[in-house]
């Protein structure tokens, strides 16, 4: 209702006074009250109205479901005859058992809620969502619309708050990749003690230059009147560093295969989980850009309780088609930061002469080395003491997708 209506009501009221028409004047009063109520509702309808999303979990494994709760609150004494909330959702995370407004070619869907709210009332709507594609997906923004009782005016407000939900990569048993179920990369032995476990002390000895000062045994030092250092048992668990080459072709102009990229990410995620379950420290290096830093993805091997989640999160956030750093350059640099004797597992769809030479150099430096090759990647010749697995390409990836799709339908 715009200003012309108020002028018209005022003019009509003036005419009713001049003509002494009591019924017409009464009608003008009623119209004035309606116009006032409409203006009041229009001005304050969206004041103190909030819209919030609550998730059962913001990290989902592939195919996992979680709760989505939408809370709409009217925190004022003015009731709302109607309110419409349109929330933007990713098409990759469908709301189960609910028809949403969508465009078949659009990557977004609209979750629509229409309701009325009394004064100081909160309404909660509950939904179930499922993660059907790896990635970090945003929910929002949301648009609120409301107005007066009579539908004369509509007020709109855009809520820019965004919530992100991460869907981890698809994880499959490593036997489905054609790898042995237990210790797929063998036992790489070196003439030196590899890793000492600081939780397992087996004795003390005389301190010598170069020993870690933090490992000095002060009680033994006081008894013997000379510096004594702790001696630890070697750890039975050797660190494993997964190196994921995200490139599916040697050069940029050759393009990339999205299917091979997803297959490589799934292989990395599956190996990380298997190694973690075997109780070995595991880390991840990837030549894709990290969204958290200005460098590549780098998660050193360790036994932290949240290590696997951190690796899966980093893999979920990869959205590049070609690595920004060549693996033959990154591998020698990062190897110097790893504990001596670490097993380096290269997952790649590209194998070049230079990369093969880099792997041989790492093996000579007493690192364990294994290669998991995808697609058409093949070694030009067997590399001594290097474990090599060829796990197939797009066809094998389609088989894995089909098997997972059947299991999701049964669930």
Instruction: Name the least confident of 63-67, 99-103, 248-252, 314-318.
Output: 99-103
Contact predicate 127/96, CB 8 Å: yes
Which one-letter DSSP state was computed for residue 42? Answer: H
Enter the tokens of residue 191. Answer: 């003439």
Would you place residue 100 in the very low, low, confident or very high pLDDT band (cuts 50, 70, 90)? low
Cα–Cα distances in angstroms (integers) from residue 18 to residues 12, 24, 228, in the given order: 10, 11, 111
Would you place residue 23 in the very low, low, confident or very high pLDDT band (cuts 50, 70, 90)? confident
Instruction: Name the least confident of 118-122, 241-245, 402-406.
Output: 402-406
Distance CA 337, CA 280 (A): 18
49-55 and 368-373 beta bridge pairing: unpaired
> How confident is the model at residue 268, as a pLDDT?
97
Q: Which comes out higher in pLDDT, residue 315 or 95?
A: 315
> How confident is the model at residue 161, as a pLDDT?
94
> 194-231 pLDDT, tens per residue?
345 454 566 788 887 666 677 788 888 888 888 888 87
* Percent of the residues in the chain that have a pLDDT greater than 90, as a whole number: 50
> How confident is the model at residue 188, as a pLDDT?
41
Q: Which class for 290: exposed (0-12), middle (13-18), buried (19 or more C-beta within 10 A)?
A: middle
Identify any residues that bridge with 65 across adjacent strands, giving them in sequence order: 130
| Residue 114 pLDDT exceeds 50 | yes
Cα 395 from chain centre: 27
Of 268, 357, 361, 274, residue with least CA distance to 316: 268
Contact predicate 1/152, CB 8 Å: yes
The residue count for the chain: 411
Q: Which comes out higher in pLDDT, residue 274 or 234?
A: 274
Give per-residue burial for 66-79: e unless 16+ CB within 10 Å, then b.
bebebebbbebebe
Helix (H, G, I), strand (E, B) or coil at 59: strand
Contact predicate 372/397, CB 8 Å: no
Contact predicate 144/84, CB 8 Å: yes
Distance CA 353, CA 308 (A): 32
> 138-179 pLDDT, tens per residue?
999 999 999 877 767 788 999 999 999 999 999 999 999 888
Of 293, 188, 302, residue with least CA distance to 239: 302
Enter the tokens of residue 119. Answer: 């004064």
Most confident of 4-8, 151-155, 298-302: 298-302
> How confident is the model at residue 193, as a pLDDT?
40
Q: Which comes out higher in pLDDT, residue 331 or 196?
A: 331
- For the full predicted model, state whether its pTM sits above 0.85: no
Identify any residues that bridge with 52 across adjacent strands, giving them in sequence order: 71
């Amino acid at each position: 209702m715009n200003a012309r209506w108020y002028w018209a009501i005022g003019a009509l009221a003036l005419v009713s006074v001049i003509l002494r028409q009591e019924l017409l004047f009464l009608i003008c009063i009623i119209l004035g009250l309606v116009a006032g109520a409409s203006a009041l509702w229009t001005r304050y309808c969206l004041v103190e109205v909030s819209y919030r999303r609550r998730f059962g979990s913001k990290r989902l494994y592939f195919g996992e479901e979680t709760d989505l709760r939408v809370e709409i609150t009217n925190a004022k004494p003015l009731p709302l005859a109607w309110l419409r909330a349109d929330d933007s959702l990713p098409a990759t995370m469908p709301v189960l058992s609910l028809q949403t407004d969508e465009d078949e070619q659009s990557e977004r869907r609209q979750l629509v809620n229409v309701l009325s709210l009394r004064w100081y009332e909160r309404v909660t709507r509950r939904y179930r969502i499922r993660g059907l594609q790896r990635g970090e997906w945003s929910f929002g923004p949301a648009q609120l619309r409301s107005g007066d009782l009579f539908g004369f005016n509509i007020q709109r407000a855009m809520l820019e708050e965004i919530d992100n939900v991460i869907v981890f990569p698809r994880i499959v048993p490593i036997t489905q990749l054609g790898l042995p179920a237990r210790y797929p990369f063998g036992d790489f032995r070196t003439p030196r003690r590899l890793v000492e476990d600081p939780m397992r002390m087996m004795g003390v000895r005389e301190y010598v230059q170069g020993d870690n000062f933090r490992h000095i045994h002060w009680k033994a030092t006081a008894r013997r009147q000379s510096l004594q250092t702790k001696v630890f048992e070697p750890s039975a668990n050797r660190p494993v560093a997964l190196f994921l080459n995200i490139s599916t072709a040697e050069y940029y102009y050759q393009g990339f295969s999205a299917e091979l990229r997803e297959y490589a990410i799934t292989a990395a995620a599956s190996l990380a989980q298997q190694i973690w379950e075997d109780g070995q420290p595991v880390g991840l290096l990837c030549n894709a850009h990290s969204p958290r830093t200005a460098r590549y993805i780098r998660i050193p091997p360790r036994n932290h309780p949240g290590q696997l989640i951190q690796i899966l999160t980093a893999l979920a956030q990869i959205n590049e088609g070609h690595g920004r750093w060549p693996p033959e350059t990154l591998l020698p640099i990062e190897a110097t930061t790893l504990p001596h004797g670490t097993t380096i597992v290269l997952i790649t769809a590209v194998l070049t002469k230079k990369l093969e030479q880099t792997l041989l150099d790492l093996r000579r430096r007493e690192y364990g080395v294994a290669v998991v090759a995808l697609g058409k990647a093949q070694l030009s010749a067997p590399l001594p003491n290097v474990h090599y697995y060829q796990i197939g390409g797009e066809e094998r990836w389609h088989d894995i997708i089909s098997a997972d799709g059947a299991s999701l339908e049964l669930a």
